[in-house]
Amino acid sequence: YSPNPGNGAQAIMKTVFEGLFEQKSNGEMVPFLAESATPSADFKTWTIKIRSGIKYHDGEDLTATNVALNLNAIQGGLFLAGYATKNYSWLGGSGIPFVGAIKLKGVAVSGDNVIVSLYAPRVDFMNIAYASGRFYMRSTKSLLDKTICGQNPAGTGPFKWSGAFNTDTIKVVKNTNYWRKDAAGVQLPYLDSITFKYVSNAAARANAVR
């Protein structure tokens, strides 16, 4: 269960998992699970305030401590620390070299804030932490338990795993405790479930779109 999934998995992953930041249609980066992100004058330290009142699908609260754990997992901290004993091998992925490119020095927690320290200034830190929509926050159990990580991971998204999935079909079901409402104040999401079906034949995919 890589923290940096490929393009083909994005449509599904984005219904279940969310990140600290999101990109608007005009390209602007904005806080999402984060309430704000404030850089130091030299852009080498970023203070990320985490929104309150958000829960993972397994009931865990989204907290600064959990976010720090996620950031450490994404940069390979858990994978590398447990490499000798083959622990946390499921957290290895292309997110490790990706984050390595931003020269991440350390992650600390202060109240509701996550303090990210960099070896070099990054004006575009939010873009990097967004990672084309790939860097998701996951519950602590989803990170630390191999079985949960692979079979029933918990995000904060509008839908959650139903337990019904195979190599061709994945079904996600409504998260009734989702934290967002639409502009009119209506609770999201609107749908009760979504079923994603993999169609291997390119011609069949094109015909379905047409």
pLDDT for res 49:
98
* Closest-CA residue to 127 (of 12, 24, 54, 50): 24
* Closest-CA residue to 60 (of 146, 151, 177): 177
Inform me whether the pLDDT recorded for 74 exceeds 60: yes
pLDDT for res 58:
96
| Mean pLDDT on 4-23 | 83
Half-sphere exposure of 210 (CA within 13 A, CB side): 6
Share the mean pLDDT of the chain: 87
pLDDT 10s digits, 80-123: 666 445 577 667 666 666 666 566 778 899 999 999 999 889 99
* Closest-CA residue to 153 (of 28, 18, 30): 18
| Mean pLDDT on 27-36 | 96
Please provide residue 198's backbone torsions phi and psi, each rounded to the nearest 5 degrees. Answer: -85, 125
pLDDT for res 1:
45
pLDDT 10s digits, 62-72: 999 999 999 88
Contact at 8 Å (CB) between 60 and 141?
yes
pLDDT for res 128:
86
> What are 117-125's contacts with CB under 8 Å, separation 24+?
117/44, 117/45, 118/43, 118/44, 118/45, 118/46, 119/44, 120/44, 121/42, 121/43, 121/44, 122/43, 122/44, 123/39, 123/43, 125/37, 125/39, 125/43, 125/46
DSSP state of 61: B
Q: Cα(202)–Cα(147) distance, rounded to whole angstroms?
A: 33
